[in-house]
Structure formats: structure tokens, C-alpha cells
Amino acid sequence: TLARLADVLAVTDAERRYLWEAAGLAPQRPAQKTPHVPAAITSVLEHIATPAYCLGRYWDALAWNREAESLFADWLGPQGQERNLLRFMFCVPAARDFVVDWPQRARRLVAEFSADAGNLAGEGQYEDMVADLGRQSAEFRAYWARREISFRDPAVKAFRHPTEGLVVYEQTTFAPLVERDFKLVLLCARPKN
């Protein structure tokens, strides 16, 4: 009844969440919408001079800047086939050479996704993606079975760029208060020693 009432009143996601909380119920996820990158985020991507990209609820790259495309050529560049960060990491062989300390980073990435995806269980697209990744990658399957949880906190990330050599960044991830399934990831270069 609340869902139908919220639909008829065309309430925002925040109002819907408040409605459920006021009724003493677990918040209901709104119906799936086509991912939309807010104009403010698009502007940030256009004007920032460091690699930056946006991830959706299933960690699909929704938008990125030229610096990110240059850094992640096999993921975000024209030849990139897998726009999903997990699929890139586990299904694109070049990722293993590109990401420094791939086994540790891959394990942590699965733990970060697990923390993000806690409320996605039962969604068909989520279930299909996890099952498909498990079929394609023994490492993903093993890391997923561990059920580790980790949050995307500021961290140092190192990559072996084909022309720049070793590049090191400090990663910071932002999540808007309204669009909780949306993330903006910034990579700030650390000076080379």
C-alpha cells in the first residue's frame, strides 16, 4: 500500500525512504531507473585535471574524464570492452599486469563491492552478474566465498602504465547523499620518487 501511495504521489527517493522509516518498515528500494549522472558531477569530470570516474550500483562506469580514459585504456578507452570495474579486473587479462599487486587489490575490490552490494541481494541483474563473474574467474569465486567486507576508504593505488611506467595515486571515493548507488572516484597523483 505504501509503495502504491508513494508511486501515485511521485515522491522522491528521500521522501520514500522517510515514509518507510516513519511506518517502522525497512526502506524499500525504488524501482530501477536508467543510471543518470548528475550535471554537477559531469561538470566536475570535465574540469578536474586528475583521473576521475563515476560508478553505478553494479560498478558499471557511467562517466569518466580524459585522464581516466588515458590511465585505464583497457577499461575506459576505445578498446575497452568491459565497462564494469569487476569484469575488467577479473575478466580482462591485461588488468593483471596493469594493477600493481593484483591479487591483493582484487581481493579488496571484491570486499568493497560486497559492502556496497549488501542490499542488492535478490535483484536479478546483481545475481546474474555475481554468478557470471564466478563462472569466468576462479579468483572472483574464491574471494566472493570469503564474504569479506571492506569500505572504499582513501587508499594508495599503483598501476603499470604502458607509456608512463609506474604511476601511484591516492584514491578518494565520494557518494552523494541522495544517490547512494552512485560513486565518484578521484585519483590524485603522488609524486614520483
| pLDDT tens for the chain, residues 1 to 193 | 776 676 667 666 667 667 767 777 765 555 555 567 888 888 989 999 999 999 998 999 999 999 999 999 999 988 767 799 999 999 999 999 999 999 999 999 999 999 888 777 778 888 899 999 999 999 999 999 998 888 766 789 999 999 999 999 999 988 877 666 788 999 999 876 6
Strand 61-64 relative to strand 183-189: parallel, antiparallel, unpaired?
unpaired
Phi, psi values for residue 68, rounded to 5°? -70, -40
3-state secondary structure at position 189: strand
Residue 89's beta-bridge partner residues? none
Domain annotation for the chain: domains and CATH numbers: 32-189 (3.30.450.180)
CA–CA distance, 141 with 6 (Å, rounded to integer): 39
